[in-house]
Amino acid sequence: MSCNHHPNSETLLQYSAGRISGLSRLMVKLHCKVCEHCQHAVDQFEQLGGQALESMPDTPVSSDAFANIMSRIHAEPTISQPRDNDYSALIERILTRGSNDKLNWHWRTKRFAEILLPISDDGHEAKLIYFKKGMKVPQHTHRDKEYTLVLKGSFADDTGEYKRGDYVCKSALDEHAPIATSDCICLAITTQPLKFTGTFGPVLNWFLN
């Protein structure tokens, strides 16, 4: 399938070099699973990394340096691994099979449920979010970054529609009120709590954060 929204090149490069860990890494990995374009870019970054190392004749490099670096590139993350792994298989299953039957959703309203995932070692908060079709998230902006991977279904805001596999990054410059265009499950990582800005913003900032 093709995706319309992708991680930027810097994120793909950091992922290729093993610089992203935990659920952030899972998010990019799952996007690449359904996006040939980004998987191809990751393959090329890894290849370039290897070539760069090989073309350093004047630098003394120990015989196992290349193998060490490539094993780091391919290694699964070590940070937060035991806790994240509890969820990563379930999350992957939602993307690949559309299955969410074993999840213990915490319903906040009739059309909105969430599951708080363990906070990663970098302090970022991660959630699985379930919006029923037609559910509108109140207008909000972002104190920092909000990363979203659509695992199932779709949602839209005034910048477009986001479907299964799409990777979305919103920043403090983006204010939006997403609406689920079909029953939708997303993995969301926020580096700071959202800031609700509409009429009920002050109340929602207490209720939803």
Task: Please answer whether residues 170 and 157 qualify as being in contact, where contact means their C-beta atoms are separated by less than 8 angstroms.
Answer: no
CB of 33 to Zn ion, least distance (A): 10
The yes or no reply on residue 164 touching Zn ion (CB under 5 A) is no
What minimum distance in Å lies between the beta carbon of 7 and Zn ion? 7
Amino acid at 77: P
CA pair distance 76, 121, nearest whole angstrom: 15
For Zn ion, give the closer residue by CB, 3 or 128: 3
CB of residue 34 to Zn ion, shortest distance in Å: 8
C-beta of 41 vs 126, nearer to Zn ion:
41
Total binding residues toward Zn ion, as defined by CB under 5 A: 5
* Sheet with 184-190: strands ordered across: 106-109, 112-117, 125-131, 184-190, 146-152, 167-170
Report the alpha-carbon distance of residue 69 to residue 122 in Å, rounded.
23
**Which 3-42 residues touch Zn ion, going by CB under 5 A?**
3, 6, 35, 37-38
Determine the Cα–Cα distance for residues 7 and 13; give it in Å rounded to an integer.
10
Contact (CB, 8 A) for 180 and 134? yes
Q: Rounded to the nearest whole angstrom, what is the least distance from the CB of residue 46 to Zn ion in the complex?
A: 16
Q: Which C-beta is closer to Zn ion: that of 19 or that of 37?
A: 37
Interacting residues with Zn ion (CB under 5 A): 3, 6, 35, 37-38
